[in-house]
Amino acid sequence: MSVVGAELASLIIDAARSDAGLAADLAAVLRPHLQHQQSVAVGWMTSREAATHLGLTLPALHRLTAARAVPFEQDSPGGKCWFNRADLDAWRRGGGARSNHRRAA
């Protein structure tokens, strides 16, 4: 977080501590965003979230899933793809798509 961001956060927190109504309003606005961040941080991600996490475009991730070159799971054949953060991180540490191309060569 930048210095300005930290200062702004501190001001908001101080204001919310002194105004219960403001605190409730902030909680209502922030709750969905924080829950989303938490779910992404600890577990499963959608294709779009996984592509962002890996620094790929969505079509590039789709090519990797079609080639079974990246770890993912599906609800059913042809169904929605789900990506586990820990599996993707391990895959990336192992060389990611580059390691799969080396094995195929």
Residue 79 three-state SS: coil
pLDDT tens-place string over residues 20-61:
787 777 777 777 766 545 444 468 999 999 999 999 999 999
Nearest to 92 by CA among 71, 74, 73: 71
Q: Which of 2.170.120, 1.10.3470, 3.30.70, 1.10.1660 would CATH assign to domain 44-104?
A: 1.10.1660
Considering the chain, what is the average pLDDT of its residues?
Answer: 80
Question: What pLDDT digit, counting tens, does each position of 83-92 carry?
Answer: 999 999 999 9
Residue 17 pLDDT > 60:
yes
Burial of 72 (0-12, 13-18, 19+ CB in 10 A): buried
**Residue 76: per-residue pLDDT:** 87
∠ CA 98-43-37 to the nearest 5 degrees? Answer: 105
pTM: 0.55
User: What pLDDT score does 105 carry?
Assistant: 38
What distance, in Å, lies between the first and last C-alpha atoms of the chain? 43
Ordered by start, the domain boundaries in the chain are: 3-42, 44-104
**Per-residue model confidence (pLDDT) at position 66:** 95
Dist CA 35 CA 72 (whole Å): 22
pLDDT confidence of residue 101: 44
